[in-house]
Structure 1
Amino acid sequence: MAFLQVNVYSNVLEMEVMLNVILPQQTKKRLGTNTKGATEDIAVLYLLHGMQGNHSVWARRTSIERYVSGMEMAVIMPSTDLGWYTDTTYDMNYWTFISEELPVICHELFPQLTTKREKTFAAGLSMGGYGAMKLGLRHPERFAAVASLSGALALAESVDNLLEIRGKVYWEGIFGPLDEIKGSENDLIYLISQQKIKTAPRFFITCGTEDALYPANTYAMKKMQEQGLMVTFEDGPGEHDWAFWDQWIQRVLAWINE
């Protein structure tokens, strides 16, 4: 595998942004892991970070490069600061960047990446789990499957919990008035209720049973089931930490390839 650290300019954000990218590369090693190369139509996984992370955190805290070795899959790991994958009220359009501009940039720089829905995936942890689900729910025509690890999946149902994490000014800078999140395009539960079964991607939700977000994850899962969506829910012992995410990203990768 090749591991690239990429600096690009975002016209949407009007600033330099950073990506880490894992690309399949054919290698033959005396020691280590041999990998297969691919020159076209490579499957792609957009892997999103949480609140305290950036483009580098998945590679630093897990063995994601080793886990995708031999899968003929590219992994795109962008940085979106603390913007919650949302076009914020403070005029930073992180949603437009991640959903519209980033795929164009990646296909321009790496033309071997697939353009096929059935080989395009998204996943993320915590805030990134929210972002990945948002991608799948708002653009089901682009993603075959999306996965959330310990995701913040019920923001509008738990405003008081948000205020325990950061102040009201921060959250309203992201979403606007907090009482207006519910029923908006930033409310995953609302987006679930609008989803059509025939066009929806597959969904995977996992969360540690000791995680404070566990009730939100089971709630979102039940709403998906009620809507008739294809959702896999799996849990296990664990908290909101990298020990859990390093273990479960391996299960997510296996699920993607099922």
Structure 2
Amino acid sequence: MLADRLSTERFVSQSTGTEVEYKVLVAAEVPSDSPLPLILHLHGAMSSAASLEAARPAYEHAWSTGELPPAIIACASTPTMGGFYIDHAGGQKWETLVGAELPRHLEASGRVAGPRAALGFSMGGYGALKILLRQPTQYIAVAALTPVIFPAEKADEVKEINRPSILNDLNQAMGLDVATYEANSVYGIARNNVAALHAAAPAIYLDCGAADEFGLHEGAEYLHRLLEKLAVPHIFRSVPDGRHIDDKVPERQEAAIRFIGGALKLSTLQSARKSALKAS
């Protein structure tokens, strides 16, 4: 059996003014010149594109069982401090880099075509949610595992218990004024884009441990309640006794990948039906 292909590549980003390293994973049986759907894999804080190497067995398992259709999985290395998947006013634009510029770069190479999805863990879960909520016509699905989102909508309203250590840096980076914070908050983005979310109906999956040691379950519940209020369909999986990182994480990651796989299959089926109707 051929091994799945994992490569390390680089390109110069206009959004950040830097050379960006990213990794790409493709199933072995897919011809190298065959354009595929794109799954963005967003790493957590203090991590890098090497996160995709760690997740590789989960993606390979999903391919082997048929739960994940052929796709290109890409993960860009982004900084934590000064990054946080945020477009900084007058500075580097890390959300744009990952959510728009990298996909365009891969499409220009001829390797990517069709639907896009995003999956992220921790800080990457925050980034993945923002990308889909802001661009629901460009992304068909998102799976956010233990996303770093706070149970408040202003920087000074986030309780200290919900922003320990580096999470406080993220909370501050989102903006000290109301407008900037709202623009970087998943809640503000969802509210301001609700009509597009209703029209596009992307698939949204939230997973968070009920015993998350960083208090992130409160933020996940807050988003769950808001999406319910906005009538935005989604799945919220609250894991009893689950922590931020524990022995349940591999199974939770596999469930998230299955969710993305199901959304990609449905998108392909819907596209085929539309094509058939046009041809008839």
TM-score bin, normalised by smaller chain: 0.7 to 0.9
Report if aligned partners of 2:130, 2:186 keep a CA contact under 8 Å in 1.
Answer: yes
- CA drift of 1:149 comes to 0.3
Unaligned residue ranges in structure 1 (runs of 5+): 27-35
AA aligned opposite 1:215? E
TM-score between both structures, scaled by the size of structure 1: 0.83
In 2, Cα distance between equivalents of 1:124 and 1:203: 12
Secondary structure of the 2:106 match is helix
Aligned to 1:252: 256
2:40 — aligned with what? 46
The verdict on how the C-alpha distance between 1:186 and 1:170 changes in structure 2, with shifts beyond 3 A counting, is closer
CA RMSD of aligned residues (A): 2.5
1:7 paired with 2:10, answer: yes
Is contact 1:63–1:246 with CA below 8 Å preserved after alignment? Answer: no
Match of 2:117, as an amino acid? Answer: F
Gaps of 5+ in 2: 263-280
Residue 151, structure 1, aligned to residue 147, structure 2: yes
- Structure with greater helix share of residues: 2
Question: How many residues end up aligned between the 2 structures?
Answer: 243
Q: How many Å apart are 1:131 and its aligned residue?
A: 0.6
Asked whether the equivalents of residues 5 and 25 of structure 2 are also in contact (C-alpha less than 8 Å), the reply is yes
Range 192-201 or range 157-166, more displaced = 157-166
In 2: Cα distance, 1:144 partner to 1:151 partner: 19
Residue 96 of structure 2: aligned partner: 96
Q: Is the 8 A contact 2:134 2:190 kept in 1?
A: no
Match of residue 32 from structure 1: none
TM-score, reference length from structure 2: 0.77
Counterpart in the other structure of 1:137:
133
1:25-44 pair list within 5 angstroms: 25-26=28-29, 37=31, 39-44=33-38
For the residues of structure 2 that align with 1:128 and 1:226, how far apart are their CA atoms? 25
3-state SS of 1:80 partner: coil
SS at the partner of 2:236? strand
Corresponding residue for 2:185? Answer: 187
Identity %: 20
Q: Deviations over 1:81-103 (max 9, x none)?
A: 11121112472211221222111
CA contact (8 A) 1:49 1:55 kept: yes
- 1:129 partner SS: helix
8 A Cα contact 1:159 1:178, kept in partner: no
CA–CA separation in structure 2 for the residues paired with 1:226 and 1:181: 23
1:175, 1:6 → 2: CA distance?
A: 29
1:203 aligns with 2:204: yes
Cα offset for 1:39?
4.1
Rounded to whole Å, the distance in 2 between the matches of 1:77 and 1:167 is 22
Alpha-carbon deviation of 1:153? 2.6
